[in-house]
Amino acid sequence: MKQKLKYFFYSLRYILYFTVLIISFHYIYKLWSGHLYFFPIKEQIDNLFKYASLLLYDQSNWLLVNIFNVDFTTDALIQTFYFKANNGQLCFVEVSPGCTSLKQWMHWLFLMIIFPGPWKHKLWYIPLGLFIIEWVNVVRITGLVLTSHAWPNQFHFFHDYIFKIFFYLMIFLMWLFWVELFVEESKKTLKSNQTR
């Protein structure tokens, strides 16, 4: 019982650290984007958001056409999907620069750079996480089109609760995998080497 309680508090410490880092970055990002307007690299960040939203639109479009065979029309100029919902209502989903996963990429980078662990694994795990985050976002946009097609009046519910939670849940699971596989394993290896 004592050992389980010790492990619980040990795990809780990691989760609190994760939470503090995520919330801290949220406010740092909010300050940088909202009050400082991405100073001193606003133009580069704006261009990156435009490129990332076009990429997200193209990837989601490919998935909707080739995997789900959804009947819709698109306007590539404004990166918008138009379709008729099951109830006959005309709907649209726009992929704006704010839809990109760049903020989550920055969350991931901030979290992984600051969080402990061996750099030889961070060098491949960070890019893998960025790749996964991008494709989770593609699934999110595709899911918004599909759920809007089935339940057109529930767009905000799916956008604000289901897919946003899914997005951060995936980041949490990737971080958890990192802690269990690399941070804890490297500590066990270090302890076993010290006891020899």
The whole-number pLDDT of residue 180 equals 86
Tell me: the pLDDT tens digits for 4-47? 666 666 678 888 888 898 899 999 999 999 989 899 999 999 99
The whole-number pLDDT of residue 187 equals 63
The whole-number pLDDT of residue 15 equals 86
The whole-number pLDDT of residue 138 equals 96
Q: Which residues of the chain have pLDDT under 50?
A: none
The whole-number pLDDT of residue 113 equals 93
Long-range CB contacts (< 8 A, 24+ apart) of 20-29?
21/110, 21/111, 21/114, 21/115, 22/107, 22/111, 22/168, 25/106, 25/107, 25/110, 25/111, 26/107, 28/110, 29/103, 29/106, 29/107
The whole-number pLDDT of residue 155 equals 93
